Structure 1
């Protein structure tokens, strides 16, 4: 089952939704947690370190480099903060006669099928080992003790993984999502890990650690390391956090003894969906050499794959506010405030707020397959020469080191962030695999209609004029939210081009780039007091038809809506 066939077989249409609708068996609903029965646990730090950086600044980091002014020591408190703001329980929501735990990142159906695992060296407060994050108890389940980072290094053949003190591995437990969404769960694995990783990256960057998403790795060694069964739960991404300048990169993995820890049943009758496992298996890589070869082949592809050039439609420049006057709501408050809007008022939102959210969120995802060969020398210098570590050598005429500049003013830091963001867009495209299209129905100062967004230019290209509320609702699986939203943002990709250039694993990358960007849109939206947003599903081919002829050959990856909450 290749990626293209899987995607076609899991498309929504009015007919497929009508004929495929069935009542959910709530007596068989899976638990949203993974519960180990006989493993020791480690209580996480008593105090979570709330990331104070403004959310709009934290999400706008297009590179993996973090901030050189932060010491590189990763400790248990760091791991606690990262896990909590990526996948922790941030609040309780009262629904009718029950209280529902609400997680940090949005996930389809609130089914929370994405888990986090930590692979680390000795940290302050934590022994080297392999751990599973349990959001119920804010604790770590101990899967292995000892330093197993070289297993991930060998599987990825990636220096950033080999030198990191800590890496986070994401997985999806298929049944926890397939209970409601059946075979579409393989799509949702990347939708939901993407929104989770948007939070994780923002938190790491707010704490000034280097962080990137590694999508190319040998799957089976990671499966063995975590002790999971890929027909039930499979690894999706690896995220190295920070760097250890004194550690030499080691890629020779030791033998890993198999583990089979007992877990509690997810539900009385767990069902399997072979199509999901087939789609996952189609994109696996055999070993680290294959991962490196895949990544190297990807780097020689065109700067963008699966996207469309602009046309001769009228261009409207975005009007984002600058960093000094943008919302300063801290990241930790934004994550706690984030919701999934369930009703929009049809009151318009301001063009400047929409512009600011788009400008900060659609800025490029730090992934191992982003096109970097053509980066300018100035960009490499900003990244510290190698893109892995910045030096402590004097960097200005006064001979001040980076450490000595640690207490620079907040305003200077935000100006520097803005300049880095602009320069990064000059060096490589903000999006490599997906195109953003919009239906605008309620934005002050922007004519209603359909648009193609060109983030590298900071411009919207008008494709159609007119109000399209009925069409927007219909495209969003006939959900009123789509029609009431001020704007609907669709990410489309030409999957045939992507798979031709990247193989079946490229499908994961296209889905993931769209989802991480959507996760940043969530955070950018909820950084503003008067805005709300949510992701919706869609009728695949009808979305393509609506934006044709520009979108010919493309298919939607993600739909995010934004507006004023009722």
Structure 2
């Protein structure tokens, strides 16, 4: 049956939260069916990575791999609950603490790791080799001979176990799964250079072949991204990170519990297709009204440019500490941020090229940032009038598009969460879904959310480093966000990140 909307847009419309219907669709959770956040294998060879976190060992290759995995997706806390179970926290945030992403490693065959397939097990910080065969050629075939795999010996693969998120978030889980995957990818990009790697992101691959390669059924668990680990940390990125899938206009009437599976299948790639010609990114001038208030966040004084950068310490020690201590803020005081604090957070998020001197990756891979737009709702920033602003990354400027203090509206559209009301500022990532689908097919929905997740993770870490509070929100009244921001209805809201002064204790 031919439809007017592609399946990705249909999914987005169907999974919007609406104040008139949300209470009706809610259901009580069956806690006896809560999925485990850990995946186990019954057989395999285990490689314990914990000894290589000790400072007195002299095995840099093992140390690099151990720290990269720990900082990307390792456990950081084990908190007991009243029921006797534990809540586990990791370096990457996850909606509801459900952690739908799994992390695998494929070795071409190195002095450290024989050729084969490995699963990272964060609860023990070990690598489990569950398949001991040369499979690099199969990886290259599944990735359409991506050039980043030619001289690389290791590759990370992220997957999603869909039920972990769907158990709580039902059909909307697909959004959260890819936001969570973006958090993980952001950590890899940030932790890699200090530990001897340059990650090359690959999102265009044959889903069927990659799932077969890792022995996944493709329905309960499926591959979501690949990162080739180049042993030259400062190597430049090359090769396409994103390839298009078909666009599906022919789909049946779908029940709510069929939406996630239908979109995932529709966004699969079977064969390599050319990417449409890339259009210049004109998005920063989209909201450039002649008489709107424009606030420059750029520091044009060359001698003081360091003041607009966050200092991550010698050998990125502060970055590693921040990755390990990161927590999502549960409550804000309602106090103001300073304009300098907001500027530092946005600068770190959008200008990685200015952090090469600190050893960070200056050009981390995204799928297509030209499709993402950023808005900031300001409730309490010293020196900045309350209202909604469009952030133009290249110009490093905030452009006011609405004049009002929106605290109560923000509280409401964040599903009544006090975080929305008490935060000093909320950062919204949005995208023109129609333009994205015209470029990448229904697979664009994956790319958009992973890119938004990466940006959100950089916001997270910057705020934590400045001793501020931060929390991502994936649940919101979609249409009300568009109304408050004053943006068109066809602009899809992807993610919300709250920033503020955290309550202590």
Give the TM-score band, short-chain normalised. Answer: 0.7 to 0.9
Check if 1:171 corresponds to 2:167: no
**C-alpha spacing 1:191/1:419, structure 2 compared with 1 (3 Å):** closer
Give the secondary structure class of the aligned counterpart of 2:371. Answer: coil
Q: Tell me the distance in 2 between the aligned counterparts of 1:322 and 1:172.
A: 41
Check if 1:203 corresponds to 2:191: yes
Q: Which range is displaced more, 206-215 or 319-328?
A: 319-328
TM score, norm. by length of structure 1: 0.75
Where does 1:277-288 land on structure 2 (aligned, <5 Å)? 277-287=261-271
Q: Tell me the distance in 2 between the aligned counterparts of 1:243 and 1:419.
A: 15
Per the alignment, residue 326 of structure 1 pairs with: 310
> Greater relative contact order: 1 or 2 (C-alpha under 8 angstroms, separation 6 or more)?
1
TM superposition shift of 1:306: 8.1
Check if 1:85 corresponds to 2:71: yes
Where does 1:260-409 land on structure 2 (aligned, <5 Å)? 273-287=257-271, 290=272, 293-294=273-274, 297-298=275-276, 300-304=277-281, 309-312=286-289, 313-318=292-297, 322-323=305-306, 326-328=310-312, 330-363=318-351
**C-alpha spacing 1:154/1:244, structure 2 compared with 1 (3 Å):** farther
Render the CA deviation track for 1:464-508: whole Å, top value 9, x for unaligned.
122110011111112111111111111111101111121111121
Give the secondary structure class of the aligned counterpart of 2:496. Answer: strand
Q: Tell me the distance in 2 between the aligned counterparts of 1:440 and 1:168.
A: 38
1:239 to 200, 204, 227: 227
Q: Which runs of 5+ in 2 are unaligned?
A: 1-5, 234-255
TM superposition shift of 1:45: 4.9
**C-alpha spacing 1:453/1:307, structure 2 compared with 1 (3 Å):** closer
Give the secondary structure class of the aligned counterpart of 1:352. Answer: helix
Q: Does the CA contact (< 8 Å) of 1:437 and 1:453 recur in 2?
A: yes
Q: Which runs of 5+ in 1 are unaligned?
A: 51-72, 246-271, 365-378, 380-412
Render the CA deviation track for 1:30-65: whole Å, top value 9, x for unaligned.
111111123332222512389xxxxxxxxxxxxxxx
TM score, norm. by length of structure 2: 0.84
Per the alignment, residue 538 of structure 1 pairs with: 476
TM superposition shift of 1:431: 2.9
TM superposition shift of 1:208: 4.9
Q: Tell me the distance in 1 between the aligned counterparts of 2:319 and 2:181.
A: 19
Q: Which range is displaced more, 301-310 or 478-487?
A: 301-310
Per the alignment, residue 457 of structure 1 pairs with: 395
Q: Tell me the distance in 2 between the aligned counterparts of 1:494 and 1:440.
A: 23
Q: Tell me the distance in 1 between the aligned counterparts of 2:180 and 2:355.
A: 30
Where does 1:90-169 land on structure 2 (aligned, <5 Å)? 90-93=76-79, 99-156=86-143, 157-169=145-157
Per the alignment, residue 25 of structure 1 pairs with: 30
TM superposition shift of 1:121: 2.3
Supply the RMSD in Å over aligned alpha carbons.
Answer: 2.9
Q: Does the CA contact (< 8 Å) of 1:308 and 1:551 recur in 2?
A: no
Q: Tell me the distance in 2 between the aligned counterparts of 1:146 and 1:477.
A: 49
Render the CA deviation track for 1:86-105: whole Å, top value 9, x for unaligned.
11101233555654221110
Q: Tell me the distance in 2 between the aligned counterparts of 1:418 and 1:463.
A: 37
**C-alpha spacing 1:308/1:435, structure 2 compared with 1 (3 Å):** farther
1:35 to 40, 47, 66: 40
**C-alpha spacing 1:524/1:121, structure 2 compared with 1 (3 Å):** same
Per the alignment, residue 21 of structure 2 pairs with: 16
Count residues with an aligned counterpart. 459
